[in-house]
């Protein structure tokens, strides 16, 4: 009998948790001791707590995607990325976060929003979930007074033809995981 091709929620018993780092930012690192159901042997797993994120593929009526160039210290490189952000505002659903992030990072608003999919980028260490959206019907947003800081204060944005972006992804010039996933999801669904 074949297994059903579907991810399913499941939780194994945790016998102990220890915070290794917890500060004033939304992410934390902890060590969980757990065991398989029916097996008393415990083992440790590091868990990066993460609130989740949204990624926005904003495409205008000329088939151009709005991209950002942003430095990322852990990878020590400047990536070509899409507008994105953390689900760090209490009570804010993913599409509302996506609307806010598109306004803050690109100065844009969209009339049409399409959910492209949801992925877990690194479930072996983090519960982070990423929600992908295609935004169309774009227009300039009113300035809401958002002031970028740190790496965001240094990022630059510009329009890129979708075909050029696809070529850059496929030949490896662009490797930001969320950008690759958003573009390929939209492309595979025939939305580009």
The residues annotated with a catalytic role in the active site are 152
- DSSP secondary structure string, 122-157? -TTTB---EEEEEEEEEEEPPP------GGGGG-EE
Query: Which DSSP letter does residue 75 get?
Result: G
Cα–Cα separations (whole angstroms), residue 115 to 21, 35, 50, 130, 188: 34, 36, 21, 11, 13
Structure tokens at 98: 């996506």
**Nearest in space to 42 (alpha carbons), one of 22, 18, 19:** 18
Query: How many residues would you count in the chain?
Result: 192
């Amino acid at each position: 009998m074949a297994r059903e091709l579907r991810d399913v929620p499941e939780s194994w018993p945790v016998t102990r948790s220890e915070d290794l780092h917890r500060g004033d930012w939304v992410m934390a690192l902890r060590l969980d001791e757990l065991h398989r159901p029916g097996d008393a042997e415990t083992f440790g797993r590091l868990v990066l707590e993460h609130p989740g994120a949204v990624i926005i593929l904003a495409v205008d009526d000329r088939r151009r995607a709005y991209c950002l160039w942003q430095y990322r210290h852990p990878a020590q490189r400047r990536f070509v990325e899409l507008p994105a952000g953390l689900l760090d505002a209490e009570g804010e659903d993913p599409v509302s976060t996506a609307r806010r992030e598109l306004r803050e990072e690109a100065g844009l608003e969209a009339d049409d929003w399409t959910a492209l999919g949801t992925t877990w980028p690194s479930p072996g260490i983090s519960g982070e979930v990423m929600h992908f959206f295609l935004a169309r019907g774009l227009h300039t947003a009113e300035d809401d007074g958002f002031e970028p800081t740190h790496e965001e204060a240094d990022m630059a944005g510009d329009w890129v033809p979708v075909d050029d972006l696809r070529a850059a992804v496929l030949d490896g010039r662009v490797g930001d995981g969320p950008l690759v996933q958003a573009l390929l999801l939209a492309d595979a669904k025939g939305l580009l």
